A and B are shown apart, each in its own frame.
Chain A
Amino acid sequence: MALDEREVQREMDAAAHKLRKEKKRTYGIGLLKGLAVTLRHLFKHNTVIEYPDVKQDLPSRTRGVIALKEENCTVCMLCARECPDWCIYIDSHKETLPPKRAGGRPRKRNVLDRFAIDYALCMYCGICVEVCPYDALFWSREFEYAEYDIRELTHEKEKLSDWMATVLPPPALEEGALLPGQPEPPAPAAPSGDGAAAVPAGDTGAAEMKPASAARPATQTASAAEVRPEQAADAPKAPSAVQEPAGSEHEQAPAPAATSATQVEEGQPPTKAETEAPAGSAAATEPEAQTRAVRESGDSPSATARGEATGEIETPAPAAVPTPTEDPDEVYETVLKDQLEAGSSPQVAEARAKVARVKAERGVRRAPTPIETEKKVPSAPVTGHFTEPVPGGAPAAEEPKPEQGPVEPTDEEKGPDG
C-alpha cells in the first residue's frame, strides 16, 4: 500500500494543505471574497428553467414513462415476468382467426385485454423495455402523470398507448461507437451516399424544427463519414459475416409468413414513422424515407448499400468469416423441406427454416426468443431484424458472439493508446 511515490505525494499534499491552513488568519478577506462571489451571481444571467411555462428538452433516452405499442404486443408476458417489482399487469385471451388460405389451419392469436403498469411500484429500471422481443414497449420522456390518488397511478393500456406519440427515436451514437459485430453505423451512409440529395433536403427541413431531432440526421451522416475511415483501418475486424446475414435476412423480411415476422416487419417501420410524427418535421419523415428507399430499391438493397458504405472492407471480409458449421442456405432449404413434408403450413415452415438458418449462421446452441429486433435505431430501418443485436439488450448481445471474435483483439490493441 505504502508505495514510495505515494508517500512522496502524500507529503506534497500535506504540505500544500498546510499552506492552505496557513491562510487561516486572513481577517475578513475570505468573507469579502464570499460576498463578491454572491454579488457576482446577482448580476449573472439566470439559467433557471421556469418549469410549467418552459419545459426542458430532455434527452431521448430519458426514462420518463413506459409507452406501449399495443399492436406489437403478443402477450408473451416476458416483461411482466422480468419486472423486478411485478408492477405490470397483463390480461389476455386467445382468439381463433380464420385461416389465411383456403384449406389452411385456423390460427390462434393472443389478444391483449389489459396492459397496466403500476407506476407507484415501478422503479424505472427499464428491464421490461429491454426484454420485450417485439418492440412493444418504449421509454417516453413524458413525466407529468401525477395523480391525486396512488391507486390512479396504475395506468392502463389506453394511457400507455397515448404516450406512444411522445416516444422519440433513439439518438445517434457517439463517434467510435460500434455495436458488437455489426457494421450498422455505416448504414445511414447508404442513403447519403446513394441519394445525396435526400439528406440535405431533410437536413434543411429539420433545421427549422426542434433542435434535438433536427440535429440527428445531420449527425448521422457526419458520423457515418467519420466512422468510415476508422472502419477502413479496422478492415480485418469488420466481419464479412455480416454481409451474408444482411442479405439473407433481407430476403426474409419481405416474406411475412410467421406471425412474429409479420409483426416485426409491419410493426417496426411504422413505429418509427409514428414516433417521429409528433415532431412533424421533415426530419421526422426522413428515417421513414430512408426506410422506404431502402426497401423499394429491390431485393438486395442493403447489400448494395452496405457495399458502398463499407467500401473496401468487402474484399478482405471473407477471410475473416467465422465459418459456420453448415451452410446456412443449405440448412434453410433442408429445414423448409422437412417442415413442409411434416405437414406444416408453408408460412410456418418458412419461418422455422429461417430461424434454423440464422441459428446455423451464428452457431447458436440454445433456441432464442422468437425474434430479436434492433430497437428504435433509425440508422438501420429495415435491415437486421435477425442479426442486429439490441445494443444493450442482454439477450440480443449473445448472438453476435462469433462475429465479434475478430473485433476484440484489434480493438484492444489500439484502444488504450487511441
Chain B
Amino acid sequence: MTQIRTPEDVAREVAEGGLATQQMILNVGPQHPATHGVFRLLATIDGEILAEAEPVIGYMHRGYEKLVEARDYRQITNLVSRMDWLSGFNNELPLAMALETLMEIEVPPRAQWLRVVMLEMNRILNHLMFFASFGAELGAITPTFYAFREREDIQLAMESATGGRMHFGFMRPGGLKEDVPRGFIAQALKSVRQVIARLDQYEDLLVGNEIFKQRTVDVGVLSREQVMSYGVSGPIARGSGVSDDVRKDEPYLVYDRFDFNVPIGHSGDCFDRFWVLVHEVVESARIVEQAIEGLPAGPVLGKVPRVIQAPEGEVYVRAENPLGELGYYLASDGDRRPYRLKIRTPSFNNVSVLPEVLRGTFVADMIAILGSFFFVLGDIDR
C-alpha cells in the first residue's frame, strides 16, 4: 500500500506520460454498514486514496417540511420527534418553544426543569449511540454492547415517564404531557450516575487505546474556518475548537442555572470530535444531576388553550440538539397548522463539509471520518 498519490499527482503523472493507474468509482452505500442508513458516498478512489467524495443524500426524504403543513401542532410534535430518531425529545423542544413564543404561553418551572432532565438524558442516549457506532466502525465491537447496556437503563427510565423508547412524544406546548411517574427520578439519577461511573472503563477501551489513537489522531482534520463557512455545529464544531453551544450562548429553558462546561477540542481531527462527544456525556450527566436536585414542585403544563392555534406571526427558535444546532422557523397564519415550518437540522450542515474533509484520505480513514461526523440520516433527509 505504498502507492499513495493524490489526484493532482495522478494528473501530473498522466500529463508526463507516466504510469497512471485507473481511478475507480466506489459507491459507498446507499446500503453500507458504515453509513448508518441510506447514505451514499460517491467515492472516486485511486488505490486506497479517496480522490473525491461526494455525499449523495435524499434517499430517505420524507418531506417533513411539506408534511407538517397538513398536520396540526399536536401531530407535528410527534412527527418531528422522528426526524433525528436518536434524539426525539430534543427535536420536540424547539417546536414547543416556538409555539410558546408565538402563543405567549408560560411554561411552569417544574416542566422546564423536567424538560432539561429529559433533554440531557436524551443527549446521553444519543452520544452513547455514537460512542458505540464509532467503535464499531473502527472494528472494536465491544464498546457497542457496553454502550447499549447503558443506553438501556436510561431508555427504561425515559420509557417509564413517556412510554416511548425513542419517540417520546412527551413535549407539549406549554410544558409536558404529564408528570413523571414515581420512581422516575431515582431511576434517572441511578442510570446517569452509572454511565459516569462506567465511562472511565470505556475510555480505557477506546480513548486511551493506542490503535484507536493511530486511527483517529490527525485524521480527517476539520479546520475552524471550514466549520464557520459550512455552518457546522454541535460536537463536530466543538471538536475543531469552535465553542458554539446554544445552551451557553442563548440559554433557553433554565440552562443558565446549571453549572456545566462545554468540552472543546483542539485540532479538529476524529479523535477530538470523539473526545468532545464522550465528555459531553459527562457534562450532560452533571446537568441531569443538578436539574434533579433542584426540581421544583408544581404543575407541568401551563395555561394552554384547548386547540393549539398559533397566532399570525413568525418565529425562529434554535436549540442545541445532541448533534448540533436545531432550528425551527415557524411561520403561522393563525391556523391550527403552520403556514410554513423550515427546519434547520444539524446533520445536514454537518455532512455538507464531508467532501472537503474526505478528499485525499484513505478508504479506511473515510470510515473513521464518517463515523466521527455523527450524523443521523433522518436528520439529513427529513
Contacts and interface: CB of A to CB of B under 8 A. Distances in A.
**Is there a contact between chains A and B in the complex with CB atoms less than 8 Å apart?**
yes
A126 B169 contact: yes
A176 B295 CA distance: 8
Contacts of B180: 173-174, 177
B109 A411 contact: yes
A9 B82 contact: no
B272 interface: yes
A203 to B, nearest CB: 15
**Residue picked from B79, B201, B202, B272, most chain A C-beta under 10 Å:** B201
A404 B210 contact: no
Contacts of A121: none
A148 interface: no
A30 B299 contact: no
B149 A124 contact: no
**Residue picked from A26, A223, A234, A391, most chain B C-beta under 10 Å:** A391
A45 to B, nearest CB: 12
B162 interface: yes
A177 B111 CA distance: 10
Contacts of A47: 149
A371 B208 CA distance: 61
Contact of B113 (A31, A123, A415): A415
A210 interface: no
Nearest to A218: B182
Nearest to A25: B210
A24 B211 CA distance: 10
A47 B184 CA distance: 20
Interface stretch (B47-55, B241-249, B314-322, B350-358): B241-249
A20 interface: yes
Interface in B119-138: none
Interface string B178-196: 1111111100000000000
A368 interface: yes
B275 interface: yes
Given A223-B182, A368-B306, A14 B301 contact: no
Contact of A33 (B156, B208, B301, B307): B208
A61 B110 contact: no
A63 B71 contact: no
Interface stretch (B26-34, B259-267, B374-382): B259-267
A6 interface: yes
A397 interface: yes
A171 B149 CA distance: 25
B172 interface: yes
A175 B182 contact: yes
Contacts of A171: 160, 181-183
B297 A30 contact: no
A6 B243 contact: yes
Nearest to A56: B156
Contact of B110 (A30, A130, A395, A415): A415
Contact of A177 (B204, B300, B305): B300
Interface in A24-75: 24, 26-31, 33-34, 36-38, 40-41, 47, 58-63
A34 B176 contact: no
Contacts of B207: 20
A139 B108 CA distance: 27
A13 B264 contact: yes
Contact of A418 (B160, B208, B294): B294
Contacts of B163: 59, 61-63, 126, 139
B209 interface: yes
Contacts of A84: 71, 75, 78-79
Contact of A28 (B174, B210, B262): B210
A408 B294 contact: no
Interface in A360-418: 366, 368, 391-392, 394-395, 397-398, 401, 404, 407-408, 411-412, 414-418
A221 to B, nearest CB: 11
Contacts of A395: 306
B261 to A, nearest CB: 6
Contact of A174 (B164, B182, B301): B182
Contacts of A172: 181-182
A232 interface: no
B312 interface: no
A17 B266 contact: yes
Contact of B304 (A21, A38, A230, A398): A398
Contact of B298 (A17, A63, A368, A415): A415
Interface of B: 71, 74-75, 78-79, 82, 106, 108-110, 113, 142, 146, 149, 156, 159-164, 167, 169, 172, 174, 176-185, 201-202, 204-213, 217, 241, 243-244, 248-249, 254, 257, 261-266, 271-272, 275, 294-308
Given A2-B243, A37-B204, A397-B304, 12 more contacts: A27-B210, A33-B204, A123-B82, A125-B75, A130-B177, A171-B160, A173-B181, A174-B179, A178-B179, A178-B297, A392-B176, A412-B108
Q: Which 10 pairs show the lowest CB-CB distances between chains A and B? A: A415-B296, A415-B109, A392-B177, A176-B297, A171-B181, A391-B178, A59-B160, A177-B179, A125-B78, A180-B299
17 contacts: A13-B261, A14-B266, A21-B266, A24-B210, A24-B213, A59-B160, A173-B178, A174-B180, A175-B182, A176-B110, A177-B179, A180-B300, A219-B182, A407-B299, A408-B108, A411-B109, A418-B297
